[in-house]
Structure 1
Amino acid sequence: MSHTLRAGVIGAGVFGGHHARQYARLPGVTLAAVLDPHLERARALAEPLGGQAFTDLDAFLAAVDVVTVASPAGFHAGQALAALAAGKPVYVEKPIAVSLEEAGAVQAAGRAAGLAVACGHQERVLFKVIGLFGIPEQPLRLEALRHGPPSERSLDVSVVLDLMVHDLDLALALSAAEPVTVEGEGSVAASGTWDTARAEVAFDDGFTAVFDVSRQASARRRAMRVVYPSGEVEIDFLTRAFRNTTPHPLNADFADTPAAQDTLAASIQAFLQAARGEAAAPLVGAADGARALDLALAVEWALAG
């Protein structure tokens, strides 16, 4: 895949629009197609960016080399499997699926076909830029806060699969330990599913991670605190306030880097490199997406219990 790649986006909603515009502007790739059950919506996104609109999946897959799946979460696995069966590397927005069986099927299909499968946990870009993945210590405690006001977006899944899953993935990526127990509490609001949630996850090495998410808040808040044996790192991702009391050099000016300013672009570029065979794997692969989903479903189980 050394030629200019033809990219296709499944889903003409908010996230589909983000992916389509990235493909239209990044080097080495063009936006070729957008698939949506509503043809006019697909046209409204695709045509100004030079792409074609489709409602038929087979015709869409024949027109592209790589695929982003940005449809509602319940369709992620089926559409990813169809793309892989057609020989197309695929980038699946989070969550990778809504069940572990589906996630396992996507992972197995990608492995069997030898095709890149990326999952949309692009927040890892920030941690990489900051340097957190390079700290040679295991964390003792993590506290993550992610609040946002009500939105019509992603109401087909709980706030756990919508928002918390990002921070669950980051905790799993930071620690070499395995989660062993999960406790949680939450509330159901307009969506009919969990719209606020607080969970505490204990890991087998004593690491504890606490997650607080809401999509019913009056204002946006997003912060994280990570405690290490040698000190603490605190980050407010909205104000860019940064505090590091560990001896490890971290990038307090992470927000000024191109990757941090456009994490989706960095994530898609990593996917395209993997699709071309220029990199061994995307930034976040199918196994990572499945692992984050596994923990997210455990949190939902704890909330229901």
Structure 2
Amino acid sequence: GVCDTDPNRAKEVAGELGVLSFHDYKDLANKLDAVTIASTTSSHFEIAKFFLEQGVHVQVEKPMTNTSEEGEILCRMAEDKELKLQVGHIERFNPAFVAAKERLVRPLFMECHRLAPFKPRGFDVSVVLDLMIHDLDVVLSLVNSEPKSVSAIGAAVLTQDIDIANARVEFRSGAVANITASRVSQKSERKFRVFQDHQYLSLDFGGGEVSLLSKTGEWGGETMPFSQESWNLEKSDALLAETHAFVECIQRDKKPIVSGWDGLVALRLAEQIEQEIRQRLEQVGSQ
């Protein structure tokens, strides 16, 4: 079934899919095995908690909740009830990232740029939770290490919340990530660069392009021997791949590719970045 607070929209989508429509999620009680929640962030906790209490497997859009405290409650509920809780960090299912991850051994420095033009949506959260959290999740999935220190700066440009942000995150493993996100840019860009021993990898989440530069020998006095590989991957529906993965983890009783705990770790780091930015803005404003 399809549920939307706009009954006409619910009927329209349900008609296209040949399923029932609802305008109150509580009307779905005892009718589901699994649910995908793609509502406003502020409503995620209430809706996800309702369905977990009903014994329903849940996929919830990122960020999983408004606060990490709420996120932890959902994770523990899912664990206690032996239910699947997957968080919609869609870039994990992007073909460019899937191809790139196979070639990454020990990332040392990562640089992320996620820029988007201004759109009248997503203002219930800052750009850190709206956009940057995508790259926080990607970075965390690669380094497999806890953050050691965070420094960040940002500004509210067109809304009352943070619209542009930059964060530098140092991990206990020694890896460093420099991450920039903006929702007030004149262009769209979703690029990710990774440096590791003797290799540099660049990927374009939007264009599906991956490039790998590898050192193949020692400095010869005039030229540095290296090889370059490039892939231009066919665009595929990452959202569909994400949904298929959710269904498969239920059917095969596997851990979700992006578990609730994964989503919680990204959310906690995002909160730390937000706090750092707000403290810095307060310092600037008090001078």
User: Any residues of structure 2 matched to 1:68-87 within 5 Å, and which?
Assistant: 68-87=36-55
Segments of structure 2 that go 5 or more residues without pairing to the other structure are 217-226, 280-287
Contact 1:183-1:201 within 8 A present in 2 as well: yes
> What CA distance in whole angstroms lies between the structure 2 residues aligned with 1:91 and 1:242?
29
How far does residue 53 in structure 1 lie from its aligned partner after superposition? 2.1
> How high is the sequence identity, in percent, across the aligned residues?
31
Alignment of 1:217 onto 2:191: no
Contact 1:130-1:250 within 8 A present in 2 as well: no
Residue in 2 aligned with 1:272?
Answer: 247
How far does residue 180 in structure 1 lie from its aligned partner after superposition? 1.4
> What CA distance in whole angstroms lies between the structure 2 residues aligned with 1:143 and 1:216?
20
Alignment of 1:106 onto 2:74: yes
> What CA distance in whole angstroms lies between the structure 1 residues aligned with 2:29 and 2:214?
49
- Counterpart code for 2:257: L
- Counterpart code for 2:268: D
User: Relative to 1, partners in 2 of residues 1:77 and 1:43: Cα closer, same or farther, differing over 3 Å?
Assistant: same
User: Any residues of structure 2 matched to 1:146-295 within 5 Å, and which?
Assistant: 146-246=114-214, 252-253=230-231, 255-256=233-234, 261-276=236-251, 278-295=252-269
- More moved, 247-256 vs 126-135: 247-256
Alignment of 1:36 onto 2:10: no
- Counterpart code for 1:266: A
> What CA distance in whole angstroms lies between the structure 2 residues aligned with 1:110 and 1:251?
42
User: Relative to 1, partners in 2 of residues 1:133 and 1:299: Cα closer, same or farther, differing over 3 Å?
Assistant: farther
Instruction: Please list the CA deviations of residues 133-153 of structure 1 after superposition, one character each: whole Å capped at 9, or x if unmatched.
Output: 5533x2111000010101122
User: Relative to 1, partners in 2 of residues 1:133 and 1:59: Cα closer, same or farther, differing over 3 Å?
Assistant: same
Residue in 1 aligned with 2:18?
Answer: 50
Contact 2:143-2:173 within 8 A present in 1 as well: no
> What CA distance in whole angstroms lies between the structure 2 residues aligned with 1:159 and 1:231?
31
- Counterpart code for 1:51: V
Instruction: Please list the CA deviations of residues 19-46 of structure 1 after superposition, one character each: whole Å capped at 9, or x if unmatched.
Output: xxxxxxxxxxxxxx22223322322222
Secondary structure, in 3 states, of the residue corresponding to 1:189? coil
Contact 1:34-1:51 within 8 A present in 2 as well: yes
Contact 1:130-1:251 within 8 A present in 2 as well: no
> What CA distance in whole angstroms lies between the structure 2 residues aligned with 1:279 and 1:230?
39
How far does residue 55 in structure 1 lie from its aligned partner after superposition? 2.7
Segments of structure 1 that go 5 or more residues without pairing to the other structure are 1-32
User: Relative to 1, partners in 2 of residues 1:303 and 1:133: Cα closer, same or farther, differing over 3 Å?
Assistant: farther
Contact 1:125-1:267 within 8 A present in 2 as well: yes
1:61 to 22, 29, 47: 29
TM-score by length of 1: 0.82
Contact 2:100-2:203 within 8 A present in 1 as well: no
How far does residue 207 in structure 1 lie from its aligned partner after superposition? 1.0
Secondary structure, in 3 states, of the residue corresponding to 2:187? coil
For the pair shown, the structure with the greater C-alpha radius of gyration is 2
> What CA distance in whole angstroms lies between the structure 2 residues aligned with 1:133 and 1:100?
30
Secondary structure, in 3 states, of the residue corresponding to 2:90? coil
User: Relative to 1, partners in 2 of residues 1:54 and 1:145: Cα closer, same or farther, differing over 3 Å?
Assistant: same
User: Relative to 1, partners in 2 of residues 1:300 and 1:63: Cα closer, same or farther, differing over 3 Å?
Assistant: same
How far does residue 50 in structure 1 lie from its aligned partner after superposition? 1.4
How far does residue 185 in structure 1 lie from its aligned partner after superposition? 1.1
User: Relative to 1, partners in 2 of residues 1:247 and 1:35: Cα closer, same or farther, differing over 3 Å?
Assistant: farther
TM-score by length of 2: 0.87
Alignment of 1:300 onto 2:268: no
How far does residue 132 in structure 1 lie from its aligned partner after superposition? 1.4
- Counterpart code for 1:243: S
Please tell me the root mean square deviation across aligned C-alpha atoms, in Å.
2.1
> What CA distance in whole angstroms lies between the structure 2 residues aligned with 1:233 and 1:105?
37
